[in-house]
Chain A
């Protein structure tokens, strides 16, 4: 089965740059998406096709990819960006897979 590996937590001060990585063999062949989830809420898509930002997502969110690792970057992180972030990808056998999630703390 496929796996996506994320750090369990990332912590930055407001205004700093937060980087969250996601690694997995499937990412060499498939695009990744990133979801933001705040407590008690459904996930929200913040990045797709590795580096495309949906409408309504602030420009401080960006994405990149290199080999089997994708990175979500939040430039000038705000307190309201504090949340859990999950990477996601489809797989060769038509399944889906989420990373384990990264808790972003901004304080």
Chain B
């Protein structure tokens, strides 16, 4: 059974940092690129970042570029999102997801999310 479990969310003051984790089980994490997607309260989905299967490439949404860093530890089956210089507009539920479609094979799994609230 494929499971993605995010953790590390909480309440943080503007300008501070937070590190999210996503523990993967039931599949081999090292085979897939991994994404972070967020959803502000009552709002739509926003793609945040992606990291290649081996961690060699990272891409970010313009809204977080230079502040957030995505990384992974395939040996520990864990994905991370380091969030620095947090702003009020970063307040959201953060999902990790596979979003994998390779040819006719779909491997699309999402966690349940971890809530980040940026507030003074």
Looking at B14-22, B40-48, B69-77, B84-92, the stretch in contact with chain A turns out to be B40-48
Total contacting residues, chain B, CB less than 8 A: 22
Residue of B nearest to A99 (CB): B44
With A1-B62, A43-B110, A95-B61 as known contacts, state yes or no: A49 contacts B101, CB within 8 Å: yes
Measured in the bound complex, the distance between the Cα atoms of B57 and A93 in whole Å is 12
Interface assignment of B111: CB less than 8 Å from any CB of chain A: yes
Does more than half of chain B's interface fall in helix, strand or loop, or is it mixed? strand
Complex contact B60–A95 (CB within 8 A) = yes
Complex contact A88–B44 (CB within 8 A) = no
Complex contact B106–A96 (CB within 8 A) = no
Residues of B within 8 Å of A98, CB to CB, are: 37, 44-47
For chain A, which range describes its interface: under 10, 10 to 19, 20 to 34, or 35 or more residues?
20 to 34
Complex contact A100–B47 (CB within 8 A) = no
Q: Which of B37, B46, B59 contacts A93 (CB 8 A)?
A: B59
Shortest Cβ gap from A88 to chain B (Å): 7
Q: Return 8 A-B CB contacts under 8 Å, by A number.
A: A42-B110, A52-B104, A54-B108, A86-B45, A88-B45, A98-B44, A99-B44, A101-B44
